Structure 1
Amino acid sequence: MNLLDIRNLSIELIGKHENTLAVDRVSLSMKEGEVRGLVGESGSGKSLLAQAIVGVLDDERWKVSADRFHWQGKELLHLPIEERKAIITKDVAMIFQEPMSCLDPTTPIGEQLEEAIGTEGLSGYFWQRRKQRKEEAIKLLHKVGIKQHTICNKSYPHQLTEAVCQRVMIAMALARQPKLLIADEPTASMESTNQGQIFRLLASLNQLKNMSILLISHDLENITHWTNTITVMYSGQFVEAGTTDQIFNKPLHPYTQALLDSSLNANSNLPAKSRLMALPGSIPILQHLPIGCRLGPRCPRAQQACVKAPKVKSYHGHQVSCHFSLKDTY
């Protein structure tokens, strides 16, 4: 049984006259202990999909619907909001992309981290539990690589670097020992050395705690070293999904191939100051989305049939949503 099983999830931005379809019938599944990458350009709907999973989208601005939204076999969309939030808060944690905007600027880091620690594992009177929370908070900071815990605990978010705040966010996410950790660009503000440390930390959590991880990134090449499976999105639509080896070595969708062609390794032999390989144009804005396949205006293989949304095809577990995939080229 899948830990998370979503079928045909759609997210609409509610407008005065009509709604805008930001995420269009995307499916996603996660098994226990799986590390799945979710890849796409900025604006492809990756973060929106993650926020829909953890239930933090504003109901007055966004409408979420799905044919299936199962967590451990339980349909979440049919549950009352409070019951749904109780399940998600207990079992799912998310590391947001901008830590400075997620941390409370009026409260010291130590207090915020202690508040995130659940009551499970705490015992004794309230003053004993308070001491246990402090000790657990220090352990969490050490676990994410913050050695000067005294300084960090007394500091406010604006007194720390963005990289340290990101580590604090990871510590808060780990405080309740979630079954699924959603990491939205967890190393975006870090140097390459620190990025490796964070990825190794997430890998160890996966191996030692059997924690499932949904790793969101715009860099396909970077996350191939850490994931088992990868899902690719473009402009709110599902593009391709498969094992990391399938996606990296035999991509079936032109967009996935373009992501690989634009990587630094693929362009390592280019002369100095040469342009990297890239698709023409840019990702469409929500107000002017193309009909059918949203990659159509930029796709080198586009034909008349692309004005209709393609159906998902599966080749031995390797799924692709394209009328003219690259399957015949292999």
Structure 2
Amino acid sequence: MSEPLLSVRDLSVEFSTYGRTNKVLHNVSLDVPAHSQVALVGESGSGKTVTMKAIMGLLREPPARITSGRILYDGADLLTMPTTERLKLRGTAMSMVFQDPMSSLNPVFTIGDQMGTILKYADKRLGRGRGRRERMARVHEVLEQVRMRDPERVTQSYPIQLSGGMRQRILIAMALLSEPKLLIADEPGTALDVTTQAQILKLLKDLVEARGLALLMITHNLGVVRETSHHVYVMNKGVVVEQGPTSQIFEAPKDQYTRDLIAAVPRLTGGMQFGRAEVGS
């Protein structure tokens, strides 16, 4: 792989609650090269989301505490960077696609208001002098890029007026507003039916490839990973137990936990993996 855009090195995190301290990440290391698609895989409680939150600076400290490690973005250590500089990167150089649109979107504001506000603050961080009309033109442009048919109507709508698939596309559009280099997608489409989820994952993959972005996909679904990632990291109990090219992980897994995950993927008749069929539909 090429030089990493994002590099996590020996990251350890612990949580202290009710007088007890639990270490939840143990010397986690992973790389996301520029223009690559990387998956971080594991079951619930494996440490995927804690890793993602540490990268994005979203851990609540306390109760969380990063006890060791480095998180490098484009060579700069996010953990030693001044807070103002790190905030400038969040949502601009690196953006999140969250898994639950209904909890991520504010029900009392229109989509246009929410996207316009995100872009306004991003412009402020980057020193851009864009007016409201220009910002809304950018919002409509990005909505078209995520294949929303009527951007004008969508911007005037409230989240409850849109389908689950449309809301998920809006979260992708929000992440793309400021043209980041890195997208971190946290279980996108999990709450959707399999057909809509497949469409969302294909859209995300197409956008990442067309824009030359780096993608870190956080997921428990190995069926998704096979079609959307070049490289895979497998986590179990806060430890990266195996990593390698996607083909290697699926065809010759070394760790028993990885083999168990692959064996747990449901299959259709004829031996085709359900997850793979879902993504390719």
What CA deviation, in whole Å up to 9, does each residue of 1:205-238 have, x standing for no partner? Answer: 3322210001111111222112100011112221
CA distance in 1 between partners of 2:151 and 2:13 (Å):
40
> What are structure 2's unaligned runs of at least 5 residues?
272-281
Q: Does 1:70 align with 2:72?
A: yes
What CA deviation, in whole Å up to 9, does each residue of 1:23-77 have, x standing for no partner? Answer: 2221111110110011111221211211111111112221123332211111221
Indicate the residue corresponding to 1:49 in structure 2.
51
Structure 2 counterparts to residues 126-137 of structure 1, below 5 A: 129-137=131-139
CA distance in 2 between partners of 1:121 and 1:139 (Å):
21
Structure 2 counterparts to residues 4-15 of structure 1, below 5 A: 4-15=6-17
Structure 2 counterparts to residues 1-330 of structure 1, below 5 A: 1-117=3-119, 118-119=122-123, 129-265=131-267, 268=269
Which secondary structure state, in structure 2, belongs to the residue aligned with residue 200 of structure 1? helix
Percent identical pairs in the alignment equals 34
User: 1:83 Cα shift?
Assistant: 2.1
CA distance in 1 between partners of 2:152 and 2:83 (Å):
38
Residue 121 to residue 207, structure 1, CA distance change in 2 (3 Å) = farther
CA distance in 2 between partners of 1:31 and 1:65 (Å):
25
Which secondary structure state, in structure 2, belongs to the residue aligned with residue 205 of structure 1? helix
What CA deviation, in whole Å up to 9, does each residue of 1:270-290 have, x standing for no partner? Answer: 9xxxxxxxxxxxxxxxxxxxx
Greater relative contact order (Cα < 8 A, sep 6+): 2
Which secondary structure state, in structure 1, belongs to the residue aligned with residue 201 of structure 2? helix
Report if aligned partners of 1:122, 1:132 keep a CA contact under 8 Å in 2: no
User: 1:168 Cα shift?
Assistant: 1.0
- Root-mean-square deviation (CA, aligned residues, Å) is 2.1
User: 1:122 Cα shift?
Assistant: 6.8
User: 1:163 Cα shift?
Assistant: 2.5
Report if aligned partners of 1:163, 1:189 keep a CA contact under 8 Å in 2: no
- Greater mean alpha carbon deviation, residues 228-237 or residues 186-195: 186-195
Residue 160 to residue 18, structure 1, CA distance change in 2 (3 Å) = same
Question: How many residue pairs get matched?
Answer: 265
Equivalent AA in structure 1 for residue 160 of structure 2? H
What TM-score does the superposition give when structure 2 sets the normalisation length?
A: 0.87
Report if aligned partners of 1:116, 1:176 keep a CA contact under 8 Å in 2: no
Which secondary structure state, in structure 2, belongs to the residue aligned with residue 60 of structure 1? coil
Report if aligned partners of 1:144, 1:198 keep a CA contact under 8 Å in 2: no
> What are structure 1's unaligned runs of at least 5 residues?
271-330
Residue 30 to residue 268, structure 1, CA distance change in 2 (3 Å) = same
User: 1:242 Cα shift?
Assistant: 0.3
CA distance in 1 between partners of 2:98 and 2:262 (Å):
25
User: 1:188 Cα shift?
Assistant: 1.0
CA distance in 1 between partners of 2:210 and 2:157 (Å):
31
CA distance in 1 between partners of 2:92 and 2:155 (Å):
24
Q: Runs of 4 or more off by more than 3 Å in structure 1?
A: 118-123, 267-270
Which secondary structure state, in structure 2, belongs to the residue aligned with residue 224 of structure 1? helix
Residue 33 to residue 227, structure 1, CA distance change in 2 (3 Å) = same
Which secondary structure state, in structure 1, belongs to the residue aligned with residue 17 of structure 2? coil
Residue 16 to residue 189, structure 1, CA distance change in 2 (3 Å) = closer
Which secondary structure state, in structure 1, belongs to the residue aligned with residue 25 of structure 2? strand
User: 1:121 Cα shift?
Assistant: 11
- Greater mean alpha carbon deviation, residues 56-65 or residues 209-218: 56-65
Residue 102 to residue 200, structure 1, CA distance change in 2 (3 Å) = same
Equivalent AA in structure 1 for residue 259 of structure 2? Q
Equivalent AA in structure 2 for residue 264 of structure 1? P
Report if aligned partners of 2:5, 2:73 keep a CA contact under 8 Å in 1: yes
Q: Which has the larger radius of gyration?
A: 1
Which structure shows the bigger proportion of residues in strand conformation?
2
Report if aligned partners of 2:9, 2:69 keep a CA contact under 8 Å in 1: yes
Which secondary structure state, in structure 1, belongs to the residue aligned with residue 115 of structure 2? helix
Equivalent AA in structure 2 for residue 137 of structure 1? V
What CA deviation, in whole Å up to 9, does each residue of 1:137-186 have, x standing for no partner? Answer: 11222222221333322222233333322111111001011111001111
Which secondary structure state, in structure 1, belongs to the residue aligned with residue 135 of structure 2? helix
Which secondary structure state, in structure 2, belongs to the residue aligned with residue 14 of structure 1? strand
Which structure shows the bigger proportion of residues in helix conformation?
2
